Amino acid sequence: MTTPPHHDPRPQPQYGQYTPQEQDAPQPNPSGQPTPQGQPAPQGHGSQPTPQGQPAPQGHGSQPAPQQQVRPQPQYGQYAPQGQGSPQGQPTPQSQGSQPAAPQQQGAPQPNPWGQSGSWEQPARWGAPQNQGQTPGAASGSGYRPAPKPGLVPLRPLKLGEILDGGFQAIRKNPKLMLGLPTIVLGITLLIGAGITVGFVALFGSQLANSPLTDEAELGVSVLFQAVSVVSGIVISFGTQLVSGFLVLYISRAVLGESLTISEVWQKLKPRVWALLGLLLLLTAAALLSGAILAAPVVLLAVAGSGVAAAVIGVLLGLLWLLALMFFGIRFALSACCLVLENVGIIVSLRRSWQLTARGFWRFTGIFLLCYLLISIVVSIITTPLTFVGSIFVGVISFAVGDNEAALIVIVVIAVILYAAVTIVASALQASYLAATTSLLYLDQRMRLEGLDVQLLEEADLIARRSPEQ
C-alpha cells in the first residue's frame, strides 16, 4: 500500500515572486526530507534568491525590490577587482600603470603629532630596547643596550663576579691610593700599638722579674696588661677604620668614572673622622661588654671549684659569643659606609646598616664571607713563600756567623723588620680589598632596595657632560 504524495494547498510563487514567510516550520524538500534547521528553504524553479540583509516582501503578488549588482568575492590570495573596496584586513592592490607609494624606511623618525620639531631626547636607560625599526639581530645583533659602565662596575644591581672583581680593579687602577696610603696609615698605627705594648713591658717588666708579687698583684698586672692590649688593638683598628672610610669615599666616586686625589678625599673625610672613631668605640665596647657578661658565670663556676662544668660552659658560651659577633658584625658591616656617604650620626648609621642588610641577608652574608675568604687566600699566597724564604735565610745566616752575638742581634732585628713590613703590606691589601667590596655591596644593596642606580645614572651623565668643558 503506497502513501499518497503530500499536497500543499497553498499556491506556489510564480516567476519573480518570493517565497511567503508565513510559517516557521521547515518545508519539505523534493526528496521528501525536511529541511534542516538553520538552512534556507529550497527555492522554487526559476525563483531568485532573497538578497542578504533585505527583508522579504509580505503577501502574494508583490514585486521584488531592485537588486544590486552582485560582484564575485575574491578568493583567498586574490585581489579585489578594480573599483571595488578590498575585503577587510587585505591590502588594496595597485592598478596597472599606477605608481606604488614610496615605502616608509625602517627606523626613520616619525613626525611630531603636535607639529613641533621635538629636539629633546630622553637618555636611554639600561635594559631599554634599542634599534627600533631594525630587523632583530641586524647591525648590533642585540635588541637591548647594556647598562652604562663609566667606572668600576655597571650602574645596575651587581652580580657576584662584578663585586669580587671590582675590588681588584680598584686596586689595579689606582695602586698609589688603594695600597700606598693604607700601607702608610696601617704602618703608623701598628707602630703606635706596638710602642704602647713595648713601653708597658719596659716599664713594669723589670719590677715584675725582680720582686715577687702576691696573687692579687698578679691579677692586677694581668688586667692592666689586657687593658694595654685592648688600647693597642683599638689604635690599630682605628687605622683600619680610617682606611675603610677613606676608600669608601674613593670607591663611591670611582664607580661614576671620577678619579679623586688623596687631598680631595681627605677634605671630604675630615669632618667624619671623629664619628668614625665614635662608631669604632661603640662597637668595641658592645663586644667587650657582651663577652664580660658571658664570661661571668664561667668565672663563678671556676671559683666555686667546678672546673669541668666551667670548661664546658665556657666553650659553649665562647662559641655563642663568636656567632653573635659574626652576626652583628655582618648586620653592621655597612655602618661606616652610611656614616661617611650619607652624612648621618652613629646611631642612624647602625640603623641604616641593619635595614640595608635585612633584605637579602643570606646573599649579602655569602658574598661578604666569600670576599673575606678570597682575600685571605690571596694574602696567604703572598706572605707564606716570603715567610718561608725569610726563615731559611735567617737560619743560614745564623749558622754562618756562629757565636757572634752582635751579628745575631742584627740578623734578628732585620728579620723582624722585614716580617713586619710584609705583614703591613698584606694587611693593607686585605683592608683595601675588603673596603672596596664592602662599598660595592653598599651600592648594590641600595640599588636593589632604593633605586640608587637611577640617581647614579643621572650623576654620571652630569660628570660626563662636565668633563669635556673642563
pLDDT tens digits, 191-207: 887 777 777 776 766 55
Using a pLDDT cut of 90, give the percent of the chain over it: 29
Could you give the angle at the alpha carbon of 429 between the alpha carbons of 425 and 432, nearest 5°?
A: 135
Judged by average pLDDT, the poorest of 155-169, 238-252, 306-320, 407-421 is 407-421
Number of H helices, E strands in the chain: 12, 0
Q: d(Cα 350, Cα 282) in Å, to the nearest integer?
A: 11
User: 431 CB contacts (<8 Å, ≥6 apart)?
Assistant: 182, 186, 240, 243, 244
Cell numbers that stand for 298 in this block: 664561667
Contact between residue 439 and residue 456 where contact means Cβ atoms under 8 Å apart = no
Q: 460: exposed, middle or buried (C-beta count within 10 Å: 0-12, 13-18, 19+)?
A: buried
Contact between residue 464 and residue 257 where contact means Cβ atoms under 8 Å apart = yes
User: 82 CB contacts (<8 Å, ≥6 apart)?
Assistant: 95
Question: What average pLDDT does the structure give for the chain?
Answer: 74
- Mean pLDDT throughout 325-335? 94
pLDDT of residue 70: 54
Cell numbers that stand for 410 in this block: 742584627
Residue 33 predicted with pLDDT over 80 = no
User: 257 CB contacts (<8 Å, ≥6 apart)?
Assistant: 150, 151, 460, 463, 464
Per-residue pLDDT band at 249 (split at 50, 70, 90): very high
User: 446 CB contacts (<8 Å, ≥6 apart)?
Assistant: 356, 452
- Mean pLDDT throughout 108-123? 38
Domain boundaries, the chain: 160-289+360-469
Q: d(Cα 22, Cα 65) in Å, to the nearest integer?
A: 19
Closest CA to 197 of 170, 162, 233: 233
- Alpha-carbon separation of residue 363 from 156, 366, 451 (angstroms): 17, 5, 18
pLDDT of residue 219: 63
Look at residue 468 and give its three-state secondary structure. Answer: helix
pLDDT of residue 17: 55
Look at residue 34 and give its three-state secondary structure. Answer: strand
Q: d(Cα 45, Cα 19) in Å, to the nearest integer?
A: 11
**pTM as predicted:** 0.65
Query: Residue 152 carries which DSSP code?
Result: S
Look at residue 129 and give its three-state secondary structure. Answer: strand
Q: Which residues pair with 129 in a beta bridge?
A: 144
